[in-house]
């Protein structure tokens, strides 16, 4: 195969196209290709590592960071597409340029769908190589700069409305940062009022997807037929009243994220179509014959145990596992009481500004009642309570007479799972195991995870508590 001779190309390129030199990994089994690419790219000042197979390339990616990977489609052993899939799994931000001797649009499109930045066809021109590599490096540089900016903003202004410095919230923030750049579906679990939509928004904000491409679907507030039409859209004449073609929310959210609030309320027929979108990245609008392809990150939330619905036949098991690729649990407010003062200050400032009131804090008696309440409605209930108090306040502080009657009374202690036991959904032994797990987890939370102190609190030997933690598989990290 004949290739263009090397030449000093693009000396007169515009100044705004010049980027910093990058670290580039070239994976190609043909020595002449590695030699040509090495010469072309080294003239631009890039540092290179040239390897002949995917296995060696993946090892190199484990050892050091590269700004760009140039990957041949036809490789011995692990092929190019399989290699691309593995590279993107390890680092969704990794920029990959594919090389193919087959100018096949189908193959190129498949690689692009899998996350490749661009592709080159053999024989290639020097200018095309340089242009494609520059664009890939520019995209990588923008992703890096955006991530740094988002982290700086997070340090200054918090995490997209999420308030709290407790240990459990800090752990949640770290998980959000870890999962946000991936393409995997996320299932957010938490009681009503804990802030599931805020967490979904934080995941999207850190995903690298367009900021305004975040669509919220209130699954529980729509009838099944209306939900289906809203999600997948319809063509003109698909049903009575369909006077014009309408895009569905999946198409509107393409390139971004779609958040399903209370996914457990979705009816089985819609569940089947949702599963197809997750698996195939496509759907058919109502009344249409052609499928629509979309690139959408799916985030779902639930305040109930979806596995219980699966066992009762009310939720598809295959959809459950597709949604539950990455699970995040938002702790209820009673598990992070140390965050209550920060939340109170935040809501006072918010509603004082909205209502043009000079309210700056709470009296000690009011603070005690706010700290002692079980907050069954979680952060949402606390926010409503503070908003009401700010509106009614006549002075600069909120006293306990502005709080709802009964606020701060300790909640009665109930055995976890007792209702399920009496309803026949749990056995006696399952109920006792749940209680044992909950009481151990609560004791560990109160002593910041120190097993020795938790054992003393429970009146157990440290070794006995350790055995129970292992048997119940309690995460106390």
Q: Which of 452, 441, 446 is nearest to 476 (CA)?
A: 441
| 391 occurs within a structural domain | yes
The Cβ-side half-sphere exposure at 369, using a 13 Å CA radius, reads 18
pLDDT at 5: 31
Q: List, in order, residues 6 or more apart from 400 with CB less than 8 Å away.
A: 363, 365, 366, 369
Is the domain of 278 the same as that of 207? yes
Q: What is the DSSP string of 382-411?
A: HHHHHHHHHHH-SSSEE-GGGSPTTTTPPP
**Residue that finishes a domain, picked among 286, 306, 329:** 329
| 413 occurs within a structural domain | no
Is the domain of 38 the same as that of 56? yes
Q: Which parts of the chain sit beneath pLDDT 50?
A: 1-18, 153-158, 411-413
**Residue that finishes a domain, picked among 147, 175, 192:** 147
Number of domains comprising the chain: 4
Backbone angles phi, psi at 296, to 5 degrees: -130, 130
Centre a 10 Å sphere on the Cβ of residue 454 and count the other Cβ atoms it contains.
24
Is the domain of 192 the same as that of 262? yes
Read off the tokens for 226.
Answer: 């209306």
Is the domain of 279 the same as that of 236? yes
In contact, 48 and 26? CB cutoff 8 Å: yes
pLDDT at 142: 76
Q: Exposure of 212 by Cβ count < 10 A (0-12 exposed, 13-18 middle, 19+ buried)?
A: exposed
Please tell me the distance from the alpha carbon of residue 154 to that of residue 117, in angstroms, as a whole number: 28
Please tell me the distance from the alpha carbon of residue 136 to that of residue 28, in angstroms, as a whole number: 18
pLDDT at 157: 41
pLDDT at 1: 34
Is the domain of 172 the same as that of 189? yes
Enumerate the β-bridge partners of residue 121.
Answer: 100
In contact, 230 and 272? CB cutoff 8 Å: no
Q: Which helix (H) or strand (E) holds 97?
A: strand 95-100
Could you read off the pLDDT of 412-468 as tens digits, one per residue?
Answer: 445 555 555 555 566 766 777 778 888 888 888 777 778 887 887 787 788 888 888
**Residue that finishes a domain, picked among 329, 346, 364:** 329
User: What range defines the domain where residue 352 resides?
Assistant: 336-402
Please tell me the distance from the alpha carbon of residue 69 to that of residue 173, in angstroms, as a whole number: 30
| 210 occurs within a structural domain | yes
| 158 occurs within a structural domain | no
Helix-strand-coil split of the chain, %, nearest 5: 50, 15, 40
Domain harbouring 57, CATH code: 3.40.50.2300
Q: Which of 11, 131, 140 is nearest to 68 (CA)?
A: 140
Please tell me the distance from the alpha carbon of residue 311 to that of residue 307, in angstroms, as a whole number: 6
Is the domain of 379 the same as that of 430? no
Domain harbouring 278, CATH code: 3.40.50.300
Could you read off the pLDDT of 303-329 as tens digits, one per residue?
Answer: 888 998 899 899 999 999 999 999 999
| 2 occurs within a structural domain | no
Is the domain of 200 the same as that of 311? yes
Cα separation values, 187 from 179, 301, 399, Å: 11, 6, 40
In contact, 242 and 236? CB cutoff 8 Å: yes
- Cα-to-chain-centroid distance, residue 230: 23
Is the domain of 449 the same as that of 347? no
SS (H, E, C) 113-126: HCCCCEEEECCCCH
Is the domain of 394 the same as that of 423? no
pLDDT at 7: 34
pLDDT at 175: 93
| 325 occurs within a structural domain | yes
Q: What is the DSSP string of 180-202?
A: TTS-S-EEEE--TTS-HHHHHHH
Is the domain of 33 the same as that of 141? yes
Task: Give this prediction's pTM.
Answer: 0.55
Q: Exposure of 297 by Cβ count < 10 A (0-12 exposed, 13-18 middle, 19+ buried)?
A: buried
pLDDT at 413: 46
Please tell me the distance from the alpha carbon of residue 186 to that of residue 326, in angstroms, as a whole number: 5
pLDDT at 325: 93
Please tell me the distance from the alpha carbon of residue 424 to that of residue 387, in angstroms, as a whole number: 41
Is the domain of 257 the same as that of 299? yes
| 154 occurs within a structural domain | no
Is the domain of 394 the same as that of 447? no
Read off the tokens for 259.
Answer: 């958040």
Domain harbouring 351, CATH code: 1.10.8.60
| 5 occurs within a structural domain | no
């Amino acid at each position: 195969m004949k290739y263009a001779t090397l030449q000093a190309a693009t000396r007169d390129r515009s100044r705004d196209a010049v980027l910093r030199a990058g670290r580039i990994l070239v994976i190609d089994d043909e020595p002449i290709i590695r030699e040509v690419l090495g010469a072309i790219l080294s003239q631009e000042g890039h540092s290179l590592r040239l390897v002949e197979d995917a296995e060696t390339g993946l090892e190199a990616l484990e050892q050091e960071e590269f700004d760009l990977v140039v990957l041949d489609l036809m490789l011995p052993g692990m092929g190019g597409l399989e290699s691309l899939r593995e590279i993107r799994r390890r680092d969704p931000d990794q920029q990959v340029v594919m090389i193919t001797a087959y100018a096949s649009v189908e193959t190129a499109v498949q690689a692009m769908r899998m996350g490749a930045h661009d592709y080159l066809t053999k024989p290639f021109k020097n200018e095309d190589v340089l242009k494609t590599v520059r664009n890939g490096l520019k995209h990588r540089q923008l992703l890096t700069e955006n991530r740094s900016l988002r982290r700086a903003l997070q340090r200054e202004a918090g995490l997209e409305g999420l308030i709290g410095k407790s240990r459990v919230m800090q752990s949640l923030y770290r998980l959000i940062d870890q999962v946000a750049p991936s393409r995997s579906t996320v299932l957010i679990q938490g009681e009503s009022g804990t802030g599931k939509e805020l967490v979904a928004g934080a995941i999207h904000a850190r995903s690298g997807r367009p900021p305004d491409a975040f669509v919220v679907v209130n699954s529980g507030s729509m009838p099944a037929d209306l939900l289906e039409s809203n999600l997948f859209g319809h063509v003109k004449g698909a049903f009575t009243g369909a006077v014009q073609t309408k895009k569905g929310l999946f198409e509107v959210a393409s390139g971004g994220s779609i958040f399903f609030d209370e996914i457990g309320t979705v009816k089985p027929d819609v569940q089947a179509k949702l599963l197809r979108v997750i698996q195939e990245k496509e759907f058919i609008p109502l009344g249409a014959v052609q499928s629509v392809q979309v690139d959408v990150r799916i985030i779902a939330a639930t305040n109930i145990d979806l596995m219980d619905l699966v066992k009762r036949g009310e939720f598809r098991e295959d959809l459950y596992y597709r949604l539950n690729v990455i699970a995040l649990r938002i702790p209820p407010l009673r598990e992070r009481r140390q965050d209550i003062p920060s939340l109170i200050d935040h809501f006072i400032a918010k509603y004082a500004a909205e209502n043009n009131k000079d309210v700056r804090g709470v009296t000690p008696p009011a603070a005690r009642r706010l700290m002692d309440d079980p907050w069954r409605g979680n952060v949402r209930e606390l926010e409503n309570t503070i908003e009401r108090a700010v509106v009614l306040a006549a002075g600069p502080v909120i006293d306990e007479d502005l709080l709802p009657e009964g606020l701060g009374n300790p909640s009665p202690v109930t055995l976890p799972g007792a209702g399920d036991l009496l309803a026949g959904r749990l056995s006696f032994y399952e109920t006792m195991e749940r209680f044992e797990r909950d009481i151990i987890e609560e004791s560990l939370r109160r002593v910041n995870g120190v097993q020795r102190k938790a054992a003393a609190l429970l009146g157990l030997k440290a070794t006995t508590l350790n055995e129970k933690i292992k048997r119940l598989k309690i995460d106390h990290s």
